Structure 1
């Protein structure tokens, strides 16, 4: 039986033509009241995985409702003889010490799904993709640990009106052949103001890639549409002082991503992430987007010293549009977080024209989950940003130390004299700058002393290295939040 994106798109169109019907998300109290540790006790039995008794490279498992995961989904398997709904069976789960009785949750349904694959080459199936909660999903490549997530769509993120969370309500997974190492998953998205048809083509590997095709239909207008959203955590890092609660933490840095990278036209931009004191939104206007991502560039275990979380193994996620997305902006939303349990960073593409009721939009893109083989500019890159301020009340200067590293700098002769192009935005003044070779790394360090006139306003700064007319580095684009961050 042929089944594809057009079939899901027809359902999305039909649903968009009708008023939104909110799903019944009520689940038994014994599930709703589970603690995090108790919920983790509920596991899908490996021997019940779909395709477990075949020689296929993929296996499917399903995720149980509980705790905050109360949005249930429908799951179908598409094979040559038709579409087959997957029934919920409590006996497929091991409830461990969760305190949940299988008899008490009969027919409760699924909250998500997981795809396992022989990704590490050791004969063991491991998770390479999971959908769990609203439109959130995450993938893993070889040797990676859980970190940032992606979403199908974002609506009015950071707006005073409040954010809307579209939900994947139904999935169709195509039965692969034994020789297939690509898995195709279709999904139907629904929310009060929009519906959508999605296709995900999953190719696991050292870098796991998901090719995403989205067809969106709008019941009503959306003030700010976030396309290809990425969500991550940044508690603290080298680019700002530690928050008070972490002063005595043994870990030098705690984050799943350390920067936003943007490739637009011929320019590469790097914005270090921060944990602000209050909601902080910045944006980059783009006419020719070639890619963007939330990246974990720092791969040194010694910079994290966390044996449990292994932040040095968290993936980066890189988005590449397929086709012309037109004019718009990459927006970065930073939400203050008091600890590392909250994802407080969101990045997405915002089209220049906000969708209105009756509009239809299409977006296709590649999403690569990377570790060692990251998408990087063919230029010198920002290796670190360090910030300090004088303890002397009579010294108004903020000091930034930006290390640029990479082949274009290492190849410079001993007598080379690169120059730094520096721009300080409104509300600040450059007092001093110094560019010197870093004899340890082979790169160059740019040190800036900046006076800030108004701590209540954000301060934008940019810097780039050049030699004559030749651009040597990506653009360092730092935004100091109001109040200086945490």
Structure 2
């Protein structure tokens, strides 16, 4: 599956509302109204025994066998247009647990078709038993724009979304979507969908091409009345590996997801990404001159934040390079990393429709020691905001050998928070040609203020280093608008094709701010 096709589809379809529900993670009372007799509701099949160990055993057993491609839906379903796919939608009155009204969660399903050719198995777990969610075309509504397509036993749901009362009592608002390969998305209260997460990344930016393993089956535990969240088990399968996953989702002002997984390698996994994140960055103040656009900036995320095992907090502004760029930040036992959206004002974008200032940041906090490896950042050139072009993940130093398995656990926080780690945060980065002398570039980095930061900046000094070229005239100024300090300097790259820059504010010889990292390319 083409990366751009899949991600463009996810971006568009995440905003597609169910009937009685507005786009962007908001809903109305109709979405949770009692189900009348003439509305079928989602139906469950016969019960069988279930335990989480069964998912692990399925993954282990499959990894010992040759990979079998999943059954696909009829080709006619994948040849429909985007507008035709939008002409079929889930009737939210049919949501699972809508009839009883006791559970704190509502579950909706997505139809197959277009970008989603693989039906997935969804089952509901209760009292040690599991019952499959039966595919039923009657839970969907269609307009006259939806074509007459073949319906047979190969059809199945392409994914699901979850809703809860996270903003107003009685109104079940969408907070998570699982659909397409191993992709899933989440939001906190008042946010709209932006970046995505994946179960696993394989061979990202590899010349041989990327592999997209798929979540083939989900087991969703029926939440008890009054529960604060929901538990989901999932089976991952692909040509190179399988995986057993457990997610615990707790919606609210922030969406928290606890993840644990065990990866079973069919073949040696060398270029493997743990806790992968996918986002979009087109332009901001660092490359605004390349785009003719009425907006000030266009991005779902503006930086990669890292809190490394040594206790340093690193901020790497994202870029839209002229050619694919790969950056690896070596570390041992990282404390956390994530793609952040730090700009939170509408004026920072000027877009009344996309509302980029309401897109979530996503922070990954490892549980346990992850050992040696690198936080890896992939930046892909893009000329349009519909394409996700940013990928970040943890790449372990040691491959997962064929016939072995490896376990990971981590916590995810989807929110508007972006101040993980220590030190004064970077608020903004500006870059462009210096007026003089010719050939120099000027950088201006704004840091947040703090009660301990004196307005005369007494004792505050800049530390700026570059791997090539020459850094000139680093100075620290007070920025009255932000109430913090601005670090400015010029870079004379000379004949260098790539320059890595590292900067930090220090006070009396001690770190005062995050470490700002930047890669300049000719």
- What's the TM-score, normalizing by structure 2? 0.87
- Following superposition, the deviation at residue 242 of structure 1 comes to 3.8
Distance in 2 separating the partners of 1:257 and 1:62: 28
**Cross-structure match for 1:429:** 470
The answer as to whether partners of 1:271 and 1:477 remain within 8 angstroms in 2 is yes
Residue of structure 1 in register with 2:233 after alignment? 186
Does the 8 Å contact 2:74/2:150 carry over to 1? no
For 1:96 and 1:200, locate their aligned partners in 2 and report how far apart those are by CA, in whole Å.
35
Q: Show the counterpart of 1:45.
A: 91
8 Å CA contact 1:114, 1:131 repeated in 2: yes
SS of 2:162's equivalent in the other structure is strand
Q: Distance in 2 between matches of 1:105 and 1:391?
A: 67
Query: Residues 303 and 340 of structure 2 are in contact (CA less than 8 Å); yes or no, is this contact kept in structure 1?
Result: yes
TM alignment of 1:158-169, pairs within 5 A: 158-169=205-216
Shift in Å at residue 305 of structure 1?
1.4
Could you tell me which of 201, 207, 210 is aligned with 1:154? 201
Please report the TM-score for the alignment, with normalisation by the length of structure 1. 0.94
3-state SS of 2:217 partner: strand
Asked if 1 retains the 8 angstrom alpha-carbon contact of 2:449 and 2:485, the reply is no
SS for the counterpart of 1:13 is helix
Q: CA deviation at 1:107?
A: 5.3
Cα distance change of structure 1 residues 233 and 407 upon mapping to structure 2, 3 Å threshold: same
Residue of structure 1 in register with 2:441 after alignment: 398
Match of 2:431 among 363, 366, 387: 387
Matched, 1:446 2:487: yes
Distance in 2, Cα, partners of 1:342 & 1:304? 18
Which residue matches 1:267?
A: 312
Name the SS for the 1:120 alignment partner. Answer: strand
Distance apart, 1:38 and its partner CA: 2.7
1:125 counterpart SS class: strand
Q: Secondary structure at the match of 1:445?
A: strand
Q: Secondary structure at the match of 1:261?
A: strand
Report if the CA contact (8 A) 1:233-1:256 is conserved.
yes
What do the CA deviations read for 1:226-250 (whole angstroms, capped 9, x no partner)? 000000010111222343xx31x21
Is the CA contact 1:397–1:450 (under 8 Å) kept in the aligned structure 2? Answer: yes
* SS of equivalent to 2:171: coil
Spell out the pairing of 1:48-447 with structure 2 (5 A cutoff).
48-54=94-100, 55-80=102-127, 82-101=129-148, 104=151, 108-243=155-290, 246-247=291-292, 249-264=293-308, 265-371=310-416, 373-390=417-434, 395-407=438-450, 411-412=453-454, 414=456, 416-426=458-468, 428-447=469-488
After superposition, the C-alpha distances for 1:315-343 in whole angstroms (9 at most, x for unaligned) are 00000000100111000000111100011
Q: 1:83 to 1:325 in 2, by over 3 A?
A: same
- Please give the root-mean-square deviation of Cα atoms over the aligned residues, in Å: 1.8
Tell me, in whole angstroms, the C-alpha distance in 2 between the residues paired with 1:369 and 1:389: 36
In structure 2, relative to structure 1, the CA distance for the partners of 1:225 and 1:123 (3 Å cut) is same
Q: Is the 8 A contact 1:289 1:325 kept in 2?
A: yes
Task: Extract structure 1 runs of 4+ deviating beyond 6 A.
Answer: none
Alpha-carbon spacing, 1:395–1:22, altered in 2? closer, same or farther (3 Å): same
In 1, Cα distance between equivalents of 2:144 and 2:70: 30
State how many pairs are aligned.
473
Of 166-175 and 410-419, the range deviating more from structure 2: 410-419
Aligned residue for 1:71, secondary structure, equals: coil
Paired residues of 1:44 and 1:61 also in contact (CA < 8 A)? yes
Distance 1:152 1:320 in 2: 15
> How many Å apart are 1:413 and its aligned residue?
5.6
* Aligned position for 1:32: 78
**1:257-301 CA deviation, whole Å, 9 max, x = no partner?**
000000013100000001111111111101130000000011010
Structure 1 runs not aligned, ≥5 long: none
TM-superposed CA distance for 1:49, in Å, is 0.6
CA shift in 2, pair 1:420/1:58, >3 Å:
same
CA distance in 1, matches of 2:145, 2:519: 45
2:335 match: secondary structure: strand
Query: 1:452 deviation in Å?
Result: 1.3
Assess if the C-alpha contact under 8 Å between 1:239 and 1:272 holds in 2. Answer: no
Corresponding position of 1:461 = 501
Any conservation in 2 of the 1:432–1:450 contact (CA below 8 Å)?
A: no
2:44 aligns to what?
Answer: none
Which whole-Å CA distance do the structure 2 matches of 1:345 and 1:97 have between them?
38
Give the Cα separation in 1 of the matches to 2:144 and 2:466: 57
On the 8 A contact 2:84/2:147 being kept in 1, the answer is no
TM-superposition CA deviations, 1:390-443 (whole Å, max 9, x none): 467x611011111111316x53263613111111013x2113222212122221
Question: Against the structure 1 CA distance between its residues 397 and 437, is the aligned structure 2 distance closer, same or farther, given a 3 Å change threshold?
Answer: same
1:206-238 deviation per Cα after TM superposition (whole angstroms, max 9, x unaligned): 010000000110010122110000000101112
Q: Is this contact kept in 2: 1:51–1:59, CA < 8 A?
A: yes
